[in-house]
Structure 1
Amino acid sequence: MAAAAAAGAFSLREVLEAFQRCVTEQREVLLEPYLSGWRGLIRFLQSLGTVFSFISKDAVAKVSLLEGHCGGRQGQQYVSLQSMVRHELAAGPAALRARSDSGCRTVLRLHRALRWLQLFLEGLRSGDSRTSVVCTDAYNASLAAYHPWVVRKAATVAFCALPSRDAFLEIMNVGPREEAVAMLGEAIPYIGDVYSITQELFAQHKLLDLP
C-alpha cells in the first residue's frame, strides 16, 4: 500500500483499507481514514485524465481544507464527523451556515461526490452496461442535481469518451480482472456504510442543504 501511495498510483486496496478503518464500534466516522480514502479516490479520478478534472480538482481542495481543520489548533474537535458536527454547531446553526470554510459544508460536498463514486464503482463491478452509461446514470442520480446546466452538459459529453470496463479494472491495480471485481465487492459496502452514516448524521442536524 505504501509503495502505491508513494508512487502516486491508484490502489483499490488502499481505498478499501481506509474505508474499513473509518467506522468505529460506536458508528462514528473517523476523519483521518476518511481523508485517506478520499486521497485514494482522487488518484483514481486523476488516473483517468481530464474527464473527471471538474470533480477531482474540487475534491483536492475540499480534502486540503479538511486536513487544515484536522491539523489545526482545534484538531481534537475534528477526530470524527460526529465531533466535528458537535463542535461547529455549538456556535449556532446561523453561524455555521455563514461559514464557507466549515468542515460540515466541506464534508457535504465530498459526501455528494462519494455517492456518485459509490454508484459508479457498483456499476463497474456488475458490468451490466457500458462505462459511459454507468457513469452518466451514477452522475444523474447524485451530483447532477448540484451542478449548473453547463457543467451537467459538459460532464455527460466527457463521459462518452470513457475507456472500457476492462481498462477501468486494470486501473484498480490489484491484479487480474476477477480480483478487481472481487475487491470492488469488498470495498463498496464499506464506502456505502460511511455514506449512510454521514447522510443520517447530516439529516438529523438539518445540514444536507448547507449553502
Structure 2
Amino acid sequence: MANGDDRCCLKEVLHIFQSCLTDQKEILMDPYIAGWKGLVRFLNTLGAIFSFISKDAVAKIQIMESFHSSDQKAQYVTLQSMVKYELASNLVDLKKPGDQSPSGCRTILRLHRALHWLQLFLEGLRTSTEDSSTSALCAEAYNASLANHHPWIIRKTALLSFYVLPNRNSFLELMNVGTPADAVEMLEEALPSISKIYDITQALYAQHNLLDIP
C-alpha cells in the first residue's frame, strides 16, 4: 500500500469531479481529466488489483492531454463542445480502430464506462452493511458495467483479483477520511455529482449514437 499522502486523494478526487459540472450542465474536461488522474493514484494504492483499469485509464488520459495541448484545444473545453466538433469534422472513429488515431469521443467513452463501474462500486459500499463482502460488491459493479465491454480473459482475471480486497470497513478506511462512518458520509456527499456526470455523458452519447464506438 502507498503512504497516507497518496491515500488521502479519494475525497479530493471526488470533489474535483463535483467541479466538472457547469450551471448549464456541461462537463468541463480539465477537471474531468484531473479527477481521473486522482482516481488512478487511488487505485494504485490498492496494489495490482485494479491495474487492468488504471493502466488503461492512464493511456486514455494521455490521449486527452494531447488534445488539450493541440491547436484545437479550444474545441475540447467541455464534453459537449468536443462531441460537436469531432462529429462535425468527421473525426469520430465509428468503425473498428485501425490506423486512425483514437478520437476524443472514443477515449472518453472508455473512461465513462470505467467511471460507471466506480460509481456502482462506491454506491454499493455506501449502502451496504458492515458485514457485506467488498469483493462481492466490486464483482457486482463490474458485471453491471465494464464486464460487458471486456474479453473473457480480462473478465476472469478481474473477478479473481477482487477476492483479495479487504473487508468493507478496512476498504473504507483506505479512503483516509476518518472512520468508516466518515467515509460513508463523504460518499453520500460526492456520489450524486458522479451520477450526474455519468447520466449527462450517457444521454449525450446516446443522442449522437456514440455508445458503441468500437
Give the conservation status (yes or no) of the 8 Å contact 1:10–1:41. Answer: no
Displacement of 1:127: 2.3
Higher percent of residues as helix: 1
The equivalent residue for 1:63 is 61
Counterpart of 1:121 in structure 2: which amino acid? L
Corresponding position of 2:30? 32
Q: Tell me the equivalent position of 2:50.
A: 52
After superposition, the C-alpha distances for 1:141-192 in whole angstroms (9 at most, x for unaligned) are 0000111111111111111111111221111121222111100111111101
- Conservation of the 8 A alpha-carbon contact between 1:85 and 1:104: yes
1:112 aligned onto 2:113: yes
List, as ranges, runs of 4+ consecutive aligned residues in structure 1 with deviation greater than 6 Å.
Answer: none
Q: What's the offset of the Cα at 1:8? A: 4.0
Percent of aligned positions with the same letter in both sequences? 57
Instruction: Assess, with a 3 A threshold, how the Cα gap between structure 1 residues 100 and 209 changes in structure 2: closer, same or farther.
Output: farther
1:186 paired with 2:189, answer: yes
Q: Are the equivalent residues in 2 in contact too, given 1:16–1:186 (CA < 8 A)?
A: no
Once the two structures are superposed, residues 17-70 of structure 1 have per-residue CA deviations (whole angstroms, 9 ceiling, x without a partner) of 211111111110000111111112111211110111011100111111111111
Q: Pick from 163, 166, 169: which aligns with 1:163? A: 166
Q: Deviation at 1:16?
A: 2.4
Map of 1:205 onto structure 2: 208
Equivalent residue for 1:92, pick from 85, 90, 93: 90
Deviations 1:67-111 (A, max 9, x none): 111122111110000000011001237x54254421000000000
Q: Distance in 1 between matches of 2:159 and 2:186?
A: 27
Q: How far apart are the structure 1 equivalents of 2:13 and 2:94?
A: 31
Residue 78 of structure 1: which of 73, 76, 79 is its match?
76
Q: Aligned equivalents of 2:54 and 2:7: distance in 1?
A: 15
**One of 121, 124, 133 as aligned partner of 2:136:** 133
Whether contact under 8 Å (1:22, 1:34) holds in the other structure is yes
Task: Indicate the residue corresponding to 1:173 in structure 2.
Answer: 176
Q: Secondary structure at the match of 1:160?
A: helix
> Which secondary structure does the structure 2 equivalent of 1:44 belong to?
helix
Distance in 2 of aligned mates of 1:206 and 1:60: 26
Answer yes or no: is 1:42 the counterpart of 2:40.
Answer: yes
Q: Distance in 1 between matches of 2:7 and 2:133?
A: 24
**1:115 touches 1:142 (CA, 8 Å); kept in 2?**
yes
| Counterparts in 2 of 1:9 and 1:64: CA distance versus 1, 3 Å | farther
Q: Check if 1:23 corresponds to 2:21.
A: yes
User: Where does residue 199 of structure 2 map in the other structure?
Assistant: 196
Asked whether the 8 Å contact 2:19–2:31 carries over to 1, the reply is yes
